[in-house]
Amino acid sequence: MRPLMTTAVGSYPKPKYILEARSKVARGQMSRQELEVLEKQATKEWIQFQEEIGLDIMVDGEQYRGDMVTYFAENLQGFAISGLVRSYGNRYYRKPIAIGPIRRKGSITLGMFLYTQSLTQRPVKGMLTGPYTICDWSFNDYFKSREEFVMEIAQVVHQEALDLERAGAQYIQIDEPAVSTRPDEIDLAIKAMGVATQGLKATTITHICYGDFNTAYPRLLDMPVDILDLEMANSNYDMLELFKRHPFTKILTVGVVDVHNHAIESVAQVKEGIYHTLEVVPPERLLVDADCGLKTRTVEEAKAKLRVMQQAVKEVKRELNLEGD
């Protein structure tokens, strides 16, 4: 892995034509097949943008997904979907309800991965939601315990990951944003991730949103993945103080632009964050991306933030003589 490679967490904002089309599908004015054509068009546009700015490891942008948990629940046996539940602010999602054994109806993400990878010679990440987060963001009307629920989902996620690896995925990311909000259950999350990643030869990643890292760290280092992708810009890089007290031993993907506000960072701001991180993690174990998925920003904001990020990395690599790596 080259020093200071760039990537994205996963989601990009949907263009206006996708949002309008999804509304038409909900009203019965457009078929699901017509929407899928537009989702592929938007995916292609995002791949072209990522190639234009020079992103090293690409994502499909999740143009075909609504909520990251509900999307998987809708495509699995054993779930029903509730009405709208408030997530945060004015954002809502349809919360899944476990009503029976969780099983796959078939591969969920393979088709879009194959399509997206066919658009570029650069690696595209396989993108999955982790078993702990799916459990934590769902209602349970079937399982006797949270552990039973989580571990059953872990088997399903593992099957999906194997499909992606067999299809050529070099990187498989299993997102666990809920882990940092419940550090008392980190042992369960680690156990489930062990099942989900068992036997994988692809580079494995988990993205964990900012939360109570003072409690969760350094136990997070026991998460059985190769790379931890962590928010930093939103918290002013205060997590790095934990790394100074207990060295960070994995590969780190550091979030350097804040996806929670509309401001566009300057190149100088992003470079400062990268250099700050390099004080505790060497460049050969450091990747760079945004704090989290960019789907809550506008298309213009997301592109501007990624352009600034890419320019900042380019300048840091030049200043550190890493351009030829």
pLDDT, residue 325, reads 47
Centre a 10 Å sphere on the Cβ of residue 124 and count the other Cβ atoms it contains.
25
pLDDT, residue 66, reads 86
Chain centroid to Cα 206, Å, comes to 7
R_g of the chain computed on alpha carbons: 19
The length of the chain is 325
Low-confidence ranges of the chain (pLDDT < 50): 325
- pTM for the predicted model, two decimal places: 0.94
Residue 288: strand, helix, or coil: strand
- DSSP type of residue 264: P
pLDDT, residue 87, reads 63
Helices (H) and strands (E) in the chain, counts: 11, 10
- DSSP type of residue 61: B
Chain centroid to Cα 114, Å, comes to 18
Give me the DSSP letters along 95-108.
Answer: EEEEEEEEEESS-S
In the chain, % helix, strand, coil (3-state, to 5) comes to: 45, 20, 35
pLDDT, residue 195, reads 98
